[in-house]
Amino acid sequence: MVVLAPSAKPVNDMSKLSKILSISLDRVGFVRTDPANPTLTTRPGIFVAGSAGGPRDISESVVTGLAAAIQAIRYASPGVIEEEKYEETIEPYPIRVGGVFVCHCGTNIAGVADVPALVEAAKQMPDVVHAEDLQFACAKSSLDRITEVIKEKKLNRVVVASCSPPVTHLRFFQDAARRAGLNPYLVEMTNIRNLDTWVHNDRKVATEKAKDMIRMAVARFITWCRYRQ
């Protein structure tokens, strides 16, 4: 196996930026951070996220971005940040996977796989009572739509067929479920972009594989939940 791992280096004007902000850089040229908190710089009130503090992948960049934003808010306005609370009002049984939302992801998915065909196939799967497609599932309007459908149809299982690993996007869909009164851990994702449409250029092959991935996500959810029950 050959693994290609290209090197990463800071942007050329990082030194200039560090002088403007009065922050220190490490010996390589990335922003120097606190080992115990990778978002803290050497100057109070200046926070760093993503690859500015060193080589990071997408999931790490998302996490540090959220952490930096929260710390900046607390620094600008010290106090307690109250978490919005929701009550679980939808009963988890009997199982209703309603709950299959297929993302176009612009053309990343829809440009290769037949999204309408995926929706129709999902509607025929056991215990699925609702399926539809969304242009960008992680957009606010789409998340509001998911919340609306869960409430309207009392769906107690949700499967989202979209992009990226769950570590970066799952929480968005869990929040949508929570707002509807559904236990957020009853949301499942399957990555039909990275593992399918970015792999295949044959429309028929990509569509059939995506159908199988959605079918597996639905079956896994149902099997696990019935075992737990």
Q: What is the pTM of this model?
A: 0.71
Tell me if 83 is assigned to some domain.
no
Domain check: are 112 and 224 in the same one? yes
DSSP β-bridge partners for residue 191: 162
Rg (CA), the chain: 21
- pLDDT tens sequence across 82-134: 776 778 888 877 776 678 999 999 999 999 999 999 999 999 998 899 999 99
* Number of domains comprising the chain: 2
Say how far apart CA 229 and CA 223 lie, in whole Å: 10
Q: 121: domain CATH number?
A: 3.40.50
Domain check: are 129 and 68 in the same one? no
Tell me if 62 is assigned to some domain.
yes
Contact (CB, 8 A) for 141 and 170? no
Contact (CB, 8 A) for 170 and 139? no
Say how far apart CA 46 and CA 68 lie, in whole Å: 9
Say how far apart CA 155 and CA 164 lie, in whole Å: 24
pLDDT-based confidence at 220, cuts 50/70/90? confident
Say how far apart CA 100 and CA 162 lie, in whole Å: 10
What integer pLDDT is reported at residue 226 of this predicted model?
A: 57
Q: What is the residue range of 65's domain?
A: 14-76
Contact (CB, 8 A) for 158 and 101? yes
Domain check: are 111 and 165 in the same one? yes
